[in-house]
Amino acid sequence: MKSIVRVAGAGLALAMGIAGSVAGTAGAATSYSFAVIGDTPYGSTQLSLFPKRIAQINADPNVRMVGHLGDIGTGVCSDAYYQKIKASFDKFVDPLVYTPGDNEWADCHSASIGKANPLERLAAIRSVFFPRVGRTLGKNPISVTAQSGYKENVKFAAGGLTISTLHIVGSENDLQPWSGLGFTTPTTEQVAEEKARVNAAVAQIQSAFATAKANNSRAVVLMTQADMFAPGTQNADYRNAFQSIVRAIASESKAFKKPVFLFNGDTHFYAKDKPLNNEQWLSFYGISGAASNLTRVSVEGETFVDEYVRVNVVSNSEVLQIQRIAFK
């Protein structure tokens, strides 16, 4: 049986029935698992399968929390569709943390999916999916710490971890021109929004690591939509979109010294690597010295997704064990 308890000052504690309980402090080493999905549901087939897949994750006795890394399907940018996906999210038994992707707002300028102003769609996404500041989604929502001005950026402690979401999206973090609205270069409003959101992401990264140090966390977990290490993307526009964020992650990871895990969607194929231990990426982003303690995991997505990632907190130095669980 899954149940939730709160501990004052702890951020989050998840009780685990006969298996024991997750202590309220982030530094506690416990048995705890969470699921990660992203870039789903895409299209009518995936949408029809989504309830069954939610039910499978709900039935997983190890899972105590779910993270969705954004992109809730292409082709629809309407409030009605957002509400439909929100209703599905609320069927997760466990707390669901969600960070938006580019498909649901940044790409909405395209005529094929509504020819809408992306910033207006961003406001709608925040209204629909984050109606209560500092609360997750799911049937059993829990309290989290939301960043001031960016209620989608949250952090909390669970299973000896400090976990944080970061609103960073594909389409070069919304710096690609809104061509569907007739623009060939980013608009003034677009650039201003992106700059403010990047500054917020950097501040959230720094805050998450400060919390992890204060709580003696065993690891830091960051969840975002954008793949900042996608193959074949090493160009000036890509670097401009993500450089300050990657530099902040690298700097904080090196100072933290313990394991750091970055989960992203966006590019649709599973990958597990150490990009900040790779000289090519270090040179591209202008980073001096590797952050070999950072592990990046990209989750499957798009129309061919057939698995979710289950992340198990383990007692050894590995801290997190990554499992790929096939959807039935």
pLDDT tens per residue, range 160-216: 999 999 999 999 999 999 999 999 999 999 999 999 999 999 999 999 999 999 999
> What sign results for the dihedral spanned by CA atoms 108, 126, 205, 313?
negative
Q: Domain ranges for the chain, please list them.
A: 31-326
**What six digits make up the tokens of 101?**
């992707």
Q: CB under 8 Å to 323, separation ≥6 — which residues? A: 309, 310, 311, 312
User: Given this model, what pLDDT does residue 303 score?
Assistant: 86
Q: How confident is the model at residue 31 (pLDDT cuts 50, 70, 90)?
A: low
What does each C-alpha distance from 69 to 19, 123, 237, 256, 293 come to in angstroms? 28, 18, 23, 24, 22
Q: Answer for the pair 13, 5: CB distance below 8 angstroms, yes or no.
A: yes
pLDDT for res 1 = 40
User: Would you state the CATH architecture of domain 31-326?
Assistant: 4-Layer Sandwich (3.60)
- For the stretch 133-157, pLDDT in tens is 999 999 999 999 999 999 999 999 9
- Strand order of the β-sheet with 150-158 is 145-147, 150-158, 161-166, 219-224, 260-264, 294-298, 271-273
